Amino acid sequence: MNPPSTPQSYLDQGNAASVGAGSGQGRAVESEDEALVRRMAAGDDQALGVLYDRWHPVVHGVVSRMLRQADDVEDVVEETFWQAWRQASRFDRARGAVQTWLLTIARSRALDRVRALRRRREEPLEGDDGQDVVQQVAEGDPGLDAEASERRRLVVAALSGLPAEQREALELGYFGGLSQSEIAERTGQPLGTVKTRMRLALQKLRSQLQVLGSEGEGSG
């Protein structure tokens, strides 16, 4: 797959502490997380330990939001970092920050488990119940360093800027693991409406993150 042609300044800022604000896609300095992933790719298991120490609260937070059973959460957290270890050589810094890569893995593994559980138990939904994540930003960010905390603030701010019904579609799909048809069934909205809301939501989130990221660079 080709690298994205769209501006990615907000992604580059994800490692601003070591990269430097506004360094853009052409940055040459390797972030601390990127160095860890490079060492992992070379077979350094201690680097995996450090990456785990840095990011396990965030991964645990995402996985806990999608799965209810503690055993499932523990398994998925472990499998997330295990997949990161196995695929470290495939990490491409041009496509995004390490944290985005890691959290994408976490969400994907959790989604697999959510769907497998639903099929096995024939339950309508495991995981997210539509609870609004935005309110959680004020609770503090235990375990997050300053740059990750700032990045999280931007994402929550961008989500807060979305209309409630668009945010709901986004969260039911992302954290709940529901397909568009399932969201339509859950919310009682026509499928076409759900599709439109989801499309607009992600587009707005993308542009909002770009704007907020640019403002952050300008003020920083």
Partner 1 sequence: MSEGMTHEQAREALEALALDALDASERGAVMAHVATCAICQSELAALENTAGELALAAAPIPMPPAQRDRIRARLLARAAADRAPELSAAAAPQLRVETGRSAAGGDVTPLRPYTKVRRTFGPAAWMAMAAGLVAILGVGAFLKASRERDAARQSLAAVQAATGTQLAALDSLRATLTARERMISSLIGPQVAVMTLASTNPASPTGRMFWDQQRDAWTFVAHRVPMPKTGRTYQMWLVTPTAKISAGTFMPSPDGEVMMQATYALPKDSLAAVAVTDEPMGGSPQPTTAPMMVASK
Interface positions, 102-141, toward partner 1 (CB under 8 A): 103-104, 106-108, 111-112, 116, 119, 133-134, 136-137, 139, 141
Which of the residues 43 through 72 are near partner 1 (CB under 8 A)?
A: 43, 45-46, 48-49, 52-53, 56-58, 60-62, 64-65
183: contact with partner 1 by CB under 8 A:
yes
157 CB contacts (<8 Å, ≥6 apart)?
208, 212
Helix ranges (DSSP H) in the chain: 9-12, 16-19, 32-41, 45-66, 70-86, 98-121, 146-160, 164-174, 180-187, 191-219
Is 10 in contact with 209 (CB distance < 8 Å)?
A: yes
Q: Does 15 bind partner 1 (CB under 8 A)?
A: no
Of 15-23, 24-32, 194-202, the window that binds partner 1 (rule: CB under 8 A) is: 194-202
Q: Please tell me whether residue 91 binds partner 1 under the rule CB under 8 A.
A: no
Residue 9 interacts with partner 1 (CB under 8 A)? no
Do residues 33 and 97 lie in contact, with contact meaning Cβ atoms separated by under 8 Å?
Answer: yes
- Of the candidates 102, 106, 96, 103, the one whose C-alpha atom is nearest the C-alpha of residue 15 is 96
C-alpha 125/C-alpha 204 separation (Å) is: 27
Site for partner 1 in 134-173 (CB under 8 A): 134, 136-137, 139, 141-144, 148, 151-152, 155-156, 159, 170, 173
Check binding of 1 to partner 1 (CB under 8 A). Answer: yes
Q: Does 33 bind partner 1 (CB under 8 A)?
A: no
Q: Counting contacts by CB under 8 A, is residue 39 touching partner 1?
A: no
